[in-house]
């Protein structure tokens, strides 16, 4: 029997009409038994030789995976980024790759704002100290008084820019592929953004060109005490360099939802001015529901287009 693999660690199969349609069409649905991001080998094992479709998370879908999953024809990412997918290998093996870029954008933007406010007002540190019996009177900073640098003006970055403007913050932005910015946002070179911004928030894709974009040199160009926010992709930040910059005081605070290796066990765990969350940017109930519906719908349409299912 042909199978549909759902590799995301949480997916509401029972309340997804498109999954029900696929099951009624004769597909067997297989979930992720590990309840975490799959390794390359685990993805190969789970796909096997019977999977024709996959609703994917952020596991590595490589040449080796596509070569092993010889009947796989459609991959539908439950999310926006495709940096974990070898798109050239997918094309060579006749696999269509789809995504849901719009669905998680608001959720990720709102998390970035929450992390920004928490970092500026030291909310997490104060909470932890209070629970030990202390009554800290820690002074924070107003978002309204800061210059926020947005690196990447895509779906998420533009939302974050608007939200920062609603707090009366000055917003500057850098995006190599954008020639016009939203009203009130100044487009500037990256070096200028790093030196002028009190808060630097990353909202760009990850590839070889952006690997460790925020490295030791970039951190050194930032204002002393600047805040770094990353809700995009872990590989954008050199986590070791960021930990050292936090320890020295060059960087005042950082908040990250994404890491090069997940689950995360690196040096930022020892930094009291680092706020760390477990890749939950899209995990708002409403956004997640939309993502799952769209991912399943995309998969259904992709299988129909591939001639593996009848339309309707």
Active site residues: 233, 262, 279
Q: In this structure, is the dihedral angle defined by the CA atoms of residues 172, 175, 176 and 180, taken in order, positive or negative?
A: negative
Query: What per-residue string of b and e applies to 142-178 under the rule 16 or more CB within 10 Å gives b?
Result: ebeebbbbbbbbbbbbbbbbebbbebebbbbbbbeee
Concatenating the DSSP letter of every residue in 147-181 gives EEEEE--SHHHHHHHHHHHHTT-EEEEE-TT-S--
Residues ≥6 apart with Cβ < 8 Å to 226: 197, 198, 199, 200, 251, 252
Helices (H), the chain: 17-24, 40-47, 63-68, 87-92, 105-121, 123-130, 155-166, 190-196, 216-221, 239-248, 285-305
Cβ pair 175, 153 in contact under 8 A: yes
Q: Whole-angstrom Cα distance, residue 255 to residue 237?
A: 11
């Amino acid at each position: 029997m042909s199978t549909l693999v759902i590799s995301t660690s949480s997916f509401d199969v029972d309340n997804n009409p498109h999954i029900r349609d696929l099951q009624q069409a004769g597909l067997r649905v297989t979930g992720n038994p590990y309840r975490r991001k799959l390794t390359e080998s685990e993805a190969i094992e789970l796909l096997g030789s019977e999977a024709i479709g996959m609703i994917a998370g952020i596991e590595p879908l490589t040449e080796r995976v596509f070569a092993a999953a010889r009947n796989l024809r459609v991959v539908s990412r439950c999310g926006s980024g495709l940096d974990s997918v070898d798109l050239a290998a997918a094309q060579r093996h006749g696999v269509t790759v789809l995504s849901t870029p719009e669905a998680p954008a608001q959720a990720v933007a709102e998390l970035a704002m929450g992390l920004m406010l928490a970092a500026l007002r030291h909310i997490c540190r104060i909470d932890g100290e209070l629970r030990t019996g202390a009554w800290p009177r820690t002074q924070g900073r107003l978002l309204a008084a800061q210059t926020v640098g947005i690196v990447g003006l895509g779906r998420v970055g533009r939302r974050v820019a608007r939200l920062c403007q609603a707090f009366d913050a000055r917003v500057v932005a850098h995006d190599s592929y954008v020639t016009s910015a939203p009203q009130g946002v100044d487009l500037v070179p990256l070096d200028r953004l790093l030196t002028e911004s009190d808060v630097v928030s990353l909202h760009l894709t990850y590839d070889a060109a952006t690997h460790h974009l925020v490295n030791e040199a970039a951190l050194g160009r930032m204002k002393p005490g600047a805040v770094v926010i990353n809700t995009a992709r872990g590989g954008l930040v050199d986590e070791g360099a960021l930990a050292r910059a936090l320890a020295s005081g060059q960087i005042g605070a950082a908040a990250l939802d994404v890491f090069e290796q997940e689950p995360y066990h690196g040096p930022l765990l020892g930094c009291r001015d680092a706020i760390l969350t477990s890749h939950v940017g899209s995990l708002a109930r409403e956004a997640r529901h939309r993502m799952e519906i769209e991912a399943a719908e995309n998969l259904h349409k992709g299988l129909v287009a591939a001639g593996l299912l009848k339309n309707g």
